[in-house]
Amino acid sequence: MSAVKNINHLISAHHAGTLGGDIVLVRADLNVPLDDDGKVRDATRLTRLLPTLTALSQAGLRVGVLSHFGRPKSQVVAEMSLAPIAEALSELLSKPVAFAADCIGAAAENGLTGLAAGGVCVLENTRFHAGEEANDAAFAAALAAPANAYVNDAFSAAHRAHASTEGITAHLPSYSGLAMQAELEALDAALANPARPLVAVVGGAKISTKLDLLSNLSAKVDTLVIGGGMANTFLAAQGHGVGTSLCEDTMLDTARDILREADAQGCRILLPSDVVLADKFGPGQDGEICPSEAVPEDKMILDAGPKAVDEIRQAFDAAATLIWNGPLGAFEIAPFDQATSQAAQHAAQRTQAGSLVSVAGGGDTVAALNHAGAGDHFTYVSTAGGAFLEWLEGKPLPGVDALHQDG
């Protein structure tokens, strides 16, 4: 963390007159869902950006906001313009936000130089240009050309080595935004330097999509709770019948390897000791509780059972740090949301009591925790998706590494 300079360093440099100018580019993640009428449906990513924009604006800097939106495949696609997002930011900031019709060239330069001190301008979708995803050096230089400094406040895009996340840092002094800083501090506390015991919850449908994650965590955590559909594959690997449940039959040897490796690393794997069954996946089903080693051939596992939840609660009670990724069951349909909700609520209570540092993110995790009413009470919930998962897997994040190199 010490190698990454944040916007406080940038503001100090601006006040000292050492920046050489007052235009700063902020890489944000404005890739938010829109309704058919162009209104933002979920403004979470925008609200997390506000503290950085406000701090820079109040310091008198002129702020340009860079972002991708959707997958236009290097073409100008009207439906993927950032113009509606500029309007949404204006409402959230309670001040006018300008919009430039391009992120490079005369449109970008005029949009930025035309700002008053403290003004904000959203620049058009970086992915309208092929140079963005190719991390083209000339395009990165064109992005940087009108500016005097760069801030990355988009951890959710930090796993991409794109021109606006990595290449641009070769041309401008670079800093982390406040949301990026909070994310890095949370991740550092959760996995790099955690208080122990450290417990991780990993749920989801398939082992095959989370091999790197399971491998990395089993080498670092004290207890690994496995839930969701992938737990069925582990149960099958232990010789238990799983009926008609989702199960990756081709991954049984892999599951056994993971169990052996975890044991060798001193990591306890916690699989559900009882499960909740139904005839099929769908609404209107009554859950039937059954020991995990006695699943009937014509039944389907859709959730962890009450005994399993008690064991998970006990693991949380003994833990100092918790990392959570993925639901424990089919939480979208009652009554198969109970294990996820009850475990999440217990983690939230422990966190509120000051007994647990809890960090969650990736995939369906945010939706599952919000469904449980627990998300607001975790220490930190990441909306970063792929970047959060790649961090959990121990992979480098180019957008973060570029900031370290500048430090």
Domains and their CATH numbers in the chain: 7-181 (3.40.50.1260), 194-392 (3.40.50.1260)
Confidence band of 214 (pLDDT split at 50, 70, 90): very high
Q: Determine phi and psi for 116, rounding to 5 degrees.
A: -75, 165
Q: Per residue in 41-53, is it b (16+ CB within 10 Å) or e — as a string?
A: eebebbebbebbb
320 has pLDDT over 70: yes
Tokens, residue 381: 């919930």
Nearest residue to 31 via CA among 137, 140, 155, 139:
155
395 has pLDDT over 70: yes
In sequence order, the β-bridge partners of residue 275 are 290, 304
- Report the percentage of the chain scoring pLDDT > 90: 86
Nearest residue to 184 via CA among 162, 213, 154:
154
196 has pLDDT over 60: yes
In sequence order, the β-bridge partners of residue 149 are 24
Confidence band of 299 (pLDDT split at 50, 70, 90): very high
Radius of gyration of the CA atoms of the chain, in A: 23
Active site residues: 45, 206, 363, 386
Distance CA 22, CA 15 (A): 10
Question: Strands 288-291 and 268-270: what pairing?
Answer: unpaired
Confidence band of 405 (pLDDT split at 50, 70, 90): low
324 has pLDDT over 70: yes
Confidence band of 3 (pLDDT split at 50, 70, 90): low
Nearest residue to 168 via CA among 128, 129, 138, 130:
138
Nearest residue to 219 via CA among 260, 166, 254:
260
Helices 44-58 & 7-16, crossing angle to 10 degrees? 20
Distance CA 236, CA 242 (A): 6
- State which of 37-41, 234-238, 365-369 shows the largest mean pLDDT: 234-238
**Could you report the per-residue pLDDT of 153-183, keeping only the tens digit for each?**
999 999 999 999 999 999 999 999 999 999 9
Mean pLDDT of 208-221: 92
Res 385: pLDDT: 81
User: Is 0.85 topped by the overall pTM?
Assistant: yes
Question: Strands 274-278 and 223-226: what pairing?
Answer: unpaired
Distance CA 139, CA 99 (A): 20
Q: How remote is the C-alpha of 257 from its chain's centroid? A: 28
If DSSP codes are grouped into helix, strand and coil, which group holds residue 139?
A: helix
